[in-house]
Structure 1
Amino acid sequence: MRKVMIALALVGAASPVAAQVVTREVKTADYEFSYAYPAAAGRIAGLKAWLDADRSRIQAKAARDGVAARREARQSGYPYHRYSFDKTWKVVTDTPRFLSLSGDSYDFTGGAHGSPASHGLVWDKAAGRRLDPKAVFTSLPAFQTAIRIDYCARLKTEQVKRNQGDLSSMNACPPLKDLTVLLGSTNGRAIDRIGLIADPYVAGSYAEGAYEVTLPVTRAILGAVKPQYRGAFAVRG
């Protein structure tokens, strides 16, 4: 019989926006699955519905794939290494206009290692709908133009550090379409910083891990924000 555990856990009680996490964990002979999101997201009906649907969709796929892989291993006579998937959403910031979340996931389907990935999500309180963080900008080219020089310079500094100065192994500065974008705030009132995550293989090898760069919102970045969202942003510095 499948064992399902649903729990509420306190995480960072000093931070009201991330005080609780709703977690579902499943473990069977075929697969392991874990999905969590903050209670702040669970209190918004529309966002909760999307998160629960996302959880159900991913769990169903993990179950199907695990059953099929275990059957194939048994038929082929080799050991089965149980498939696993976990995804955790956390609050980046909660401003009057936006609830911004970041997501981390890890998918293991055999092989030498699993696949980590990052995700970004924004709930627009005024419109009552979910947005990809990139959707608040007029276009990807406009946003990329506004950040590219600063982003690439900061990324290169981190690449040099991780590669101990060996420039020959460094990847080129990746395009914005390959990055996860997070909307952040230093004061909880307006979006004044942008997080840019390059997952493994995007800006470096798997061993290098993910590269995360945080940029302050500049006038150039603000100019790339769609007019209907500009009031929710603030130039920093």
Structure 2
Amino acid sequence: MPFPLLLALSLAPVSIASETRDLDFEYNWSAEAEAVPALSRRFRADAVRQRQAMNRMAVAEKKARREMGTSDWNGLQFSRSVETAGQSGKLLSLVTSTSSYTGGAHPNGRTSALLWDRKLSRETNYSALLLAGQRWDGALRLPFCVLLDRERAKRRGETVVNGEWPSQCPEMKELTIALADHDRNGRFDHADLTADSYVAGPYAEGPYEISLPITATMVQRLKPEFRASFEAQPPVQ
């Protein structure tokens, strides 16, 4: 077992939490992320920044409510969770889910992906793993659009007729794309695509999460040094 994986097993997930009348705050990340010193420092610093920003926002919100003559106050909320989507000896793939309530009608949520190159000790992205001139966009977007419409039809109870929002298929740049190892064998086998609330439908429908297999054709488009970190799957039927 590669050293980074052994180190991750010796560490525990990290959780930073506090609750006051003004702010319910939680920030946590996986043991695999904690095993990377640069990521550990990054998330700890971000937790401090986010808590300070939310506290400032709470002060401003309470002041605004007093000026409007409104006395109701239930405080604000912030939570961020960084989970491991998959890892190999070369790469660590993380997905961050953030939820915040800042005094509006409802909490707002969003996701993001982080791919870490263990050898170079820096953040990268899946496009940087591909051979020059190669892309995965076509291999991902078409099946994503098909499966998205199937899921939207279930949630809406009617067939989706493509057009403008909320029935269009989002562009790739609007989606969170994370490499995932579903069977946890140290090789990436899927790409998990997330359309956050409002991206593919109204808030009430929530986010849409579509998992797509990484096919043999997609693996062949990778640079040779990364191919061993992937495991080809049959295409979507």
By the TM > 0.5 criterion, same fold? yes
1:181 — aligned with what?
177
* Segment of structure 1 superposing worse, 213-222 or 176-185: 213-222
Equivalent residue letter for 1:67? V
- The SS at the match of 1:80 is coil
2:29 — aligned with what?
37
> Structure 1, residues 51-105: CA drift from partner, whole Å, max 9, x if none?
1122122122111111111122223321234111111111212321222222211
Counterparts of 2:204 and 2:132 in 1: how far apart (Å)?
Answer: 32
1:104 — aligned with what?
97
Does structure 1 conserve the Cα–Cα contact (< 8 Å) formed by 2:80 and 2:98? Answer: yes
Does structure 1 conserve the Cα–Cα contact (< 8 Å) formed by 2:196 and 2:207? Answer: yes
Counterparts of 2:44 and 2:57 in 1: how far apart (Å)?
Answer: 20
> Structure 1, residues 88-123: CA drift from partner, whole Å, max 9, x if none?
111212321222222211110112101011121122
Measured after TM superposition, the shift of residue 228 of structure 1 is: 5.2
1:5 — aligned with what?
none
Measured after TM superposition, the shift of residue 194 of structure 1 is: 0.4
Measured after TM superposition, the shift of residue 166 of structure 1 is: 4.2
Counterparts of 2:29 and 2:97 in 1: how far apart (Å)?
Answer: 11
Indicate how the Cα distance of structure 1 residues 214 and 18 shifts in structure 2: closer, same or farther if over 3 A, else same: farther
1:209 — aligned with what?
206
Matches within 5 A, 1:48-197: 48-78=40-70, 79-133=72-126, 135-137=128-130, 142-167=135-160, 170-185=166-181, 186-197=183-194
Measured after TM superposition, the shift of residue 226 of structure 1 is: 5.2
Q: Which runs of 5+ in 2 are unaligned?
A: 1-7
Q: Which runs of 5+ in 1 are unaligned?
A: 1-15
Equivalent residue letter for 1:207? A
Measured after TM superposition, the shift of residue 183 of structure 1 is: 0.7
Higher strand share: 1
Does structure 2 conserve the Cα–Cα contact (< 8 Å) formed by 1:159 and 1:170? Answer: no
Equivalent residue letter for 2:105? A
Equivalent residue letter for 2:148? L
2:5 — aligned with what?
none
1:10 — aligned with what?
none
Equivalent residue letter for 2:229? A
Indicate how the Cα distance of structure 1 residues 159 and 109 shifts in structure 2: closer, same or farther if over 3 A, else same: same
- The SS at the match of 1:171 is coil
Indicate how the Cα distance of structure 1 residues 112 and 188 shifts in structure 2: closer, same or farther if over 3 A, else same: same
Indicate how the Cα distance of structure 1 residues 131 and 50 shifts in structure 2: closer, same or farther if over 3 A, else same: farther
Counterparts of 1:119 and 1:58 in 2: how far apart (Å)?
Answer: 16
Counterparts of 2:215 and 2:42 in 1: how far apart (Å)?
Answer: 32
* Segment of structure 1 superposing worse, 78-87 or 161-170: 161-170
Does structure 2 conserve the Cα–Cα contact (< 8 Å) formed by 1:87 and 1:105? Answer: yes
